[in-house]
Structure 1
Amino acid sequence: MRASLLALATVLALSGCQTAPVATDAPPAMPAPSQTADARFKAVSDAWLDRWMALNPVAATQLGDHRFDDRIDDLSATGRQQLVDFSRDLLTRLDAIDRTQLTRENQVDALILRNQLQSDIWNMETFQSWAWDPQVYNGLAGGAIYNLMAREFAPMPQRLKSATARMEQIPALFAQMRANLDPARVPLIHAQTVAKQNAGVLQLVDEFITPNAGQLTGADRTRLDAAVANLKKAVADQQTWLDKTLVPNAKGDFRIGAKLYDQKLQMALMSSLSRQEIGERAKAELSRVRGEMYGIARTVLKGRKGAPPLPANPTDDQRQKAIEAALELAYRDHPARDGVVDAAKAALTQATQFVRDRNLVSVPNDPVKVILMPEFQRGVAVAYCDSPGPLDKGLDTYFAISPIPDDWTKEQTESFLREYNSRMIHLLTIHEAMPGHYLEGAYSARYPSTLRGVLRSGLFAEGWAVYTENLMTTSGYMNNDPLFRLVQLKFYLRTIGNAILDQGVHVDGWSREQAMHLMMHDTFQQEREAAGKWVRAQLSSAQLPTYFVGVQEQYDTRKAVEAKEGAAFNVKAYHDKVLSYGAPPVRFVRELMTDQPIE
């Protein structure tokens, strides 16, 4: 997954289901009625972009708006109400515009902005993550420093001064956290996860601040040192509160229930598919893919000593054993415990050259680096792509991988490395980097609509990344190795399982045993991967389905364009065009490319 759907999604949990910006104290005056609809929409869009950034300064830094780098978000009742009031005002102004009079591109942006405004209001007033999810605060504390220091968008002394100001404000953020959270509503898994991550803020100080502190002198250095000292005390006090108060008293249910889930899903995905339709399609696809995997297993196991029975019409147990036996051949080839990052770097080079050689899509020259995942972001996903904000140009994209925890046993480590075997490392690199999230993010940053760049769709991004896994495999990557295809289909099963799991956990009340059966039996995941996903499913909601729904809509879009263009269809031209729209929800890309009404 990409970071704006993980790191930034955590940072922006208060602001609804998508990413967004903030502003100066007063929005621009409402345009005169005589102005065109497009001019009126631009005024509303600019007002939202401006004001949103000021209300969400930590996110603003990540997005590339550096006017508020010395501030952090105000999560008090007053600060939350400011966002609600502002969103309601902008929603009224937006709804006063006749959308049919806008250009088709602006019609898309208007619908995206309307969804964001509604989700901001809904999250503050109905979902209320600020009252029960400590990840909101933890993400802001870490993001306040990380977003400033991870990329060189300004000289180090300037960023250190901003970091100093933010470190001075983090203790107040912790105080707001303690005042806002109701332990009776906080799920235990959320409290435990944040308790483990809390010290990660100081790890960021050690990694980014301390080694560079010498670039400040005089009063600036004195102020920085004082801020670090106060932050260390605040983190220690916060750890005591987390361990002694929040964790022992956390009694909330991590399941959000059908009503809230359906509302959140609709705003998070902006898809025409309902929860029920998503579930039905996912279950059908699960059966189809398992059937294809059995066909590959029969091929690679045929004639092998000790192979299980391989009948043409297997029982469920025979199919299971055959696929597991075939996957064992892939599991044997995996990197060493400390070799995952190096393996990903090599895979990135290979995948990039393959995309160019096969003319699959135009490849930009934007820089990308493979890094270890910062500590404060660990514990939710194994890897993510952290693209620079849409307002920052020419900066590095990070393909971040979480290291194997030091306290894992030999057996746990082996389980992880079997899951992330050498072939899976290639697929992970395809998904997160080339031609997945990194490539898509680079294209998205080029789209001229700032609004669309800021509200880049997670559905589009995750759907594109999964789409490219199949694209690379069917295009002959890894020399048409059948085991690579088998592992790719297993990876796709994870996508399918994500959608089923999310509903099962939050709507159907699944137990851990039910979830683990889906992951370890139905989708062939190793125990460590499945255990981690069980935690992730409890910590998040309505994000896991973005992979499956997104790729289904990507496939639907390609089919529609192929039907329209016929023999003139060109795969590279198609991919370049799909990516040229700046990553709105996929349904809008299909409507734009096939001349359908924007709905």
Structure 2
Amino acid sequence: MRTTLLSSALILALAGCQPSTAPDTDAATTAQVQSQADAQFAALADKTLQQWMALSPVAATQIGEHRYDNRIDDVSAAGIKAGAEQTQALLDALNAIDAASLSRENQVDAAILRNQLEGDLFRVNTLADWQWDPQFYSGLAGSAIYGLMAREFAPLPDRLRSATERMEQIPQIFAAARANLDPARVPKIHAETVAKQNRGLLSLVATFITPNLDQLSGAHRERLQAAITGLESAVNEHQQWLDNELVPKAAGDFRIGADMYDAKLRFALNSELSRAQIGQRAQAELDRVRAQMYGIAQRVLAGRDAAPATPDNPTAQQQQAAIEAALELAYAQKPARDAVVPDAKAALDVATAFVAEHDLMTLPDAPVEIILMPEFQRGVAVAYCDSPGPLDKHLKTFYAVSPIPEDWNEGQVDSFLREYNSRMIHLLSIHEGTPGHYLEGWHSAKHPSTLRAVLRSGLFAEGWAVYTERMMQQAGYMDSDPLFQLVQLKFYLRTIANAILDQGVHVEGWDRERAMQLMVRDSFQQESEASGKWIRAQLTSAQLPTYFVGAQEHFDTRAAAEAAWGKDFNLKTYHDRMLSFGAPPVRYARQLLLEQPIQ
């Protein structure tokens, strides 16, 4: 076993911990080997984190490491190449460690780290999205400012000084984008989306920085003002390039194809399910859930005037008509145009109280705040949960909701509010808030492995949020309202459709008409929601399935725990135990929970 990553001092310290004459037993030898392997891995994990922080100061700020708050990532071609070389060196070092000799917890972390390092190399060298996806650069520029200003991890004057230096460097990101992006490979939808988002960077400055100029004085204030002026000029220059060069010349295909998709999916999910298995399971769930929704429709439509026929053995057309008619009853109760955010807050309070009353799991003691989604992040999702970085303790979690665009006409607004009706707002607050992302993020941050916290699994997080929607309904949340159960199933249909849509678009060549049929007809989404998802499916790949695959693995894990624990199964114990593992991919949490081999 190689020990090249260990410092001389650490090797001597480990040697000094051994008795002069070790017991001649297999157990003692195994313990010694594990101790040395764990020490090797701990050193490598720390080295990896330190290199990541230095290479990506913007991500470091979000994680909660603030030594690099005045710097930005080097996303020039040379900087990206240097980062890939460091990643390969880290992977080589990881491969030199005997993973089978590690403790169970470190076996999980090593598997997660290997997936991340291999995935990073795939993204840079094979997928090469830095050469064709302008979102890579626009997202970095926005996060460079937002990560500094959204949370009060340091005094405002300190954060403003860091923001000053970052704003002075952001033009380098724009220059790298113009140098690295090949318009012939950039998809039109990507170019158009970033062209619409670009000026949103200045809205961040106007929201977080300009109103606080008086927090600095003298040379610091003058430098901040000059940085703002310089950034405005750089944004305008970049906008001209986007409008006049990139958008007109963008000619790439947003579909990444089967081979690239399968590889990306493997790294994104870190699941044992293949694309084919995901597709088959999703289609089966689509059929099952629609049948369950029809059963509810039969009950709520019974005796209503002008209700469609609801025979026990319906045709496809009869099933469709009945479910649509039942959903219309739910759509009739929707928030006012300006009440989506207040209603989401009220729903979050109700869901939190329900979890406490039924003792479903341990509740967080850290704050959550519902906010309007920052402009530079709009256009992909209606809502998201933004937990503080794992190194930033006791800071707020943000539950962000995208406002209805001011330029939408009444028809667009009505379509949106029918989708996000009053019952759907409750489900959204369960998913993003309690007991979904907000609660899960709080629990995950308590795990002692910083590496695992930094590499928190999207599959675990998104799957958990979907799992809690069904769990809350089964626990009796709004159990006297069959329309809530109907809307919950519709929300779950969206998760199922996400997995089918992603494959359909990027592998099977679906066009907009086929995608809209799946979303609007098969899963009952409103036109506005489906249109937004069609854009999202073009802009992203291998992310939409995380909801469905993660949920399936959570459902399977709970069923396995119920079978294994029998009469000793307790829901709160199960939830708290699952959440105690720090959000690794679900398969590893299951193996830890049930004390199975780590594979």
TM-score tier by shorter-chain length is: over 0.9
Match of 1:452 in 2: 452
Partner secondary structure for residue 440 of structure 1: helix
Match of 2:143 in 1: 143
Do residues 299 (structure 1) and 310 (structure 2) align? no
Match of 2:318 in 1: 318
Match of 1:201 in 2: 201
Match of 2:218 in 1: 218
Match of 1:381 in 2: 381
Please state how far the C-alpha of 1:340 moved relative to its aligned partner: 0.2
Question: Could you say if the C-alpha distance between residues 487 and 275 of structure 1 is closer, same or farther in structure 2, counting changes exceeding 3 Å?
Answer: same
Please state how far the C-alpha of 1:29 moved relative to its aligned partner: 4.8
8 Å CA contact retained: 2:431, 2:466: yes
8 Å CA contact retained: 1:423, 1:487: yes
Q: How does 1:509-528 map to 2 (within 5 A)?
A: 509-528=509-528
Do residues 547 (structure 1) and 520 (structure 2) align? no
Partner secondary structure for residue 338 of structure 2: coil
Name whichever of 33-42 and 588-597 sits farther off.
Answer: 33-42
1:240 & 1:574 partners in 2: Cα distance? 55
Question: Could you say if the C-alpha distance between residues 410 and 245 of structure 1 is closer, same or farther in structure 2, counting changes exceeding 3 Å?
Answer: same
8 Å CA contact retained: 1:355, 1:435: yes
Match of 1:230 in 2: 230
Match of 2:593 in 1: 593
Please state how far the C-alpha of 1:376 moved relative to its aligned partner: 0.2
Q: List structure 1 segments (4+ residues) > 4 angstroms apart after TM superposition.
A: 27-35
Match of 1:10 in 2: none
8 Å CA contact retained: 2:430, 2:468: yes
Please state how far the C-alpha of 1:193 moved relative to its aligned partner: 0.4
Match of 1:158 in 2: 158
1:468 & 1:120 partners in 2: Cα distance? 31
1:94 & 1:235 partners in 2: Cα distance? 41
1:216 is matched by which residue type in structure 2? Answer: L
1:245 & 1:419 partners in 2: Cα distance? 37
1:364 & 1:119 partners in 2: Cα distance? 32
Partner secondary structure for residue 36 of structure 1: helix
Partner secondary structure for residue 182 of structure 2: coil
Please state how far the C-alpha of 1:172 moved relative to its aligned partner: 1.3
1:444 & 1:140 partners in 2: Cα distance? 25
Unaligned 5+ residue runs, structure 1?
A: 1-26
Deviations 1:364-418 (A, max 9, x none): 1110000000000000000000000011000000000000111111101000000
Please state how far the C-alpha of 1:479 moved relative to its aligned partner: 3.6
Partner secondary structure for residue 399 of structure 2: strand
8 Å CA contact retained: 2:77, 2:176: no
Deviations 1:318-354 (A, max 9, x none): 0000000000000000001111000001001100000
2:340 & 2:329 partners in 1: Cα distance? 19
Please state how far the C-alpha of 1:88 moved relative to its aligned partner: 1.0
2:473 & 2:481 partners in 1: Cα distance? 9
1:53 & 1:316 partners in 2: Cα distance? 55
Partner secondary structure for residue 478 of structure 1: coil
2:109 is matched by which residue type in structure 1? Answer: D
2:154 & 2:429 partners in 1: Cα distance? 29
Please state how far the C-alpha of 1:593 moved relative to its aligned partner: 1.2
1:223 & 1:324 partners in 2: Cα distance? 59
Deviations 1:513-570 (A, max 9, x none): 0000000000000000000000000000000000000000001111111111000000
Do residues 129 (structure 1) and 129 (structure 2) align? yes
8 Å CA contact retained: 2:473, 2:479: no
Match of 2:495 in 1: 495
Q: How does 1:17-56 map to 2 (within 5 A)?
A: 29=7, 32=11, 36-56=36-56
2:358 & 2:162 partners in 1: Cα distance? 45
Q: How does 1:18-97 map to 2 (within 5 A)?
A: 29=7, 32=11, 36-97=36-97
Please state how far the C-alpha of 1:168 moved relative to its aligned partner: 0.2
Aligned length: 573
1:594 is matched by which residue type in structure 2? Answer: L
Partner secondary structure for residue 524 of structure 1: coil
2:81 is matched by which residue type in structure 1? Answer: Q
Match of 1:345 in 2: 345
Please state how far the C-alpha of 1:161 moved relative to its aligned partner: 0.4
8 Å CA contact retained: 1:294, 1:323: yes
1:585 & 1:272 partners in 2: Cα distance? 10
Match of 1:98 in 2: 98
8 Å CA contact retained: 1:28, 1:47: no
8 Å CA contact retained: 1:473, 1:480: no
Match of 2:365 in 1: 365
Give me the TM-score of the superposition, normalised by structure 1: 0.95
Please state how far the C-alpha of 1:85 moved relative to its aligned partner: 1.1
Match of 1:266 in 2: 266
Match of 1:15 in 2: none
Deviations 1:457-481 (A, max 9, x none): 0000000000000011111112431
Partner secondary structure for residue 264 of structure 1: helix
2:62 & 2:388 partners in 1: Cα distance? 7
8 Å CA contact retained: 1:366, 1:394: yes
1:590 is matched by which residue type in structure 2? Answer: R
Please state how far the C-alpha of 1:28 moved relative to its aligned partner: 7.7
Match of 1:5 in 2: none
Partner secondary structure for residue 273 of structure 2: coil
2:362 & 2:586 partners in 1: Cα distance? 20
8 Å CA contact retained: 1:497, 1:518: yes
Larger radius of gyration: 2
8 Å CA contact retained: 1:444, 1:453: yes
Match of 2:571 in 1: 571
Please state how far the C-alpha of 1:489 moved relative to its aligned partner: 0.1
1:374 & 1:104 partners in 2: Cα distance? 40
Do residues 531 (structure 1) and 531 (structure 2) align? yes
1:46 & 1:460 partners in 2: Cα distance? 24
Do residues 246 (structure 1) and 268 (structure 2) align? no
Name whichever of 113-122 and 149-158 sits farther off.
Answer: 113-122
1:479 & 1:343 partners in 2: Cα distance? 20
2:247 is matched by which residue type in structure 1? Answer: V
Partner secondary structure for residue 370 of structure 1: strand
Match of 1:16 in 2: none
1:361 & 1:485 partners in 2: Cα distance? 22
Please state how far the C-alpha of 1:240 moved relative to its aligned partner: 0.8
Name whichever of 95-104 and 446-455 sits farther off.
Answer: 95-104
8 Å CA contact retained: 2:444, 2:579: yes
1:285 & 1:165 partners in 2: Cα distance? 51
Match of 1:169 in 2: 169
1:258 & 1:140 partners in 2: Cα distance? 28
Match of 1:477 in 2: 477
Deviations 1:410-449 (A, max 9, x none): 1010000000000000000000001000000000111100
Partner secondary structure for residue 385 of structure 2: strand
Question: Could you say if the C-alpha distance between residues 108 and 424 of structure 1 is closer, same or farther in structure 2, counting changes exceeding 3 Å?
Answer: same
Match of 2:23 in 1: none
Unaligned 5+ residue runs, structure 2?
A: 16-34
2:44 & 2:81 partners in 1: Cα distance? 20
1:480 & 1:120 partners in 2: Cα distance? 48
Match of 1:6 in 2: none
Instruction: Give the percent of matched residue pairs that are identical in Structure 1 and Structure 2.
Output: 65
2:330 is matched by which residue type in structure 1? Answer: A
Deviations 1:273-295 (A, max 9, x none): 00000000000000000000000
1:335 & 1:29 partners in 2: Cα distance? 61
Q: How does 1:389-428 map to 2 (within 5 A)?
A: 389-428=389-428
1:214 & 1:537 partners in 2: Cα distance? 43
2:119 & 2:100 partners in 1: Cα distance? 23
2:71 & 2:82 partners in 1: Cα distance? 16
Partner secondary structure for residue 130 of structure 1: helix
Match of 1:111 in 2: 111
2:453 & 2:445 partners in 1: Cα distance? 6
1:395 is matched by which residue type in structure 2? Answer: L
